[in-house]
Amino acid sequence: MVYADFESFTKLIDSCQPDPDRSFTKAYQKHEPSRFCFCIVCDGKKSRPVLYTKQTEGENMAEILVKMLQDEVDQV
């Protein structure tokens, strides 16, 4: 079992006016991931929490999370 928490910054999105004659959703903000923490519970034993904070604007947080998660799974 993996327990995870994600933190994000929200940035407003510029958009056009929707057509009132059609169904629509209005995106008004984008969530930019900035930090995550996770721990693994296996056979009743809990791993140490793993915390990562974004270092630069261009980092791919999903890729980093998957790599760190795989490293922890390999240790369990």
Output the CA angle 6-51-3, nearest 5 degrees. Answer: 55
Of residues 57 and 36, the one with the higher pLDDT is 36
- Predicted local confidence at residue 73, as pLDDT: 87
User: Which 8-state DSSP code applies to residue 23?
Assistant: -
Phi-psi region of 21 (alpha: psi -120 to 50; beta: other; left: phi over 0): alpha
| Residue 23 vs residue 17, higher pLDDT | 23
What lies within 8 Å, CB to CB, of 6 at 6+ separation is 33, 35, 36
Task: Specify the higher pLDDT residue, 60 or 44.
Answer: 60
Number of domains in the chain: 1
Predicted pLDDT at 76: 76
What would the two tokens of residue 27 be?
């995106």
Per the structure, the complete domain to which residue 52 belongs is given by 2-16+25-75
For residue 20, give both structure tokens.
């009132």
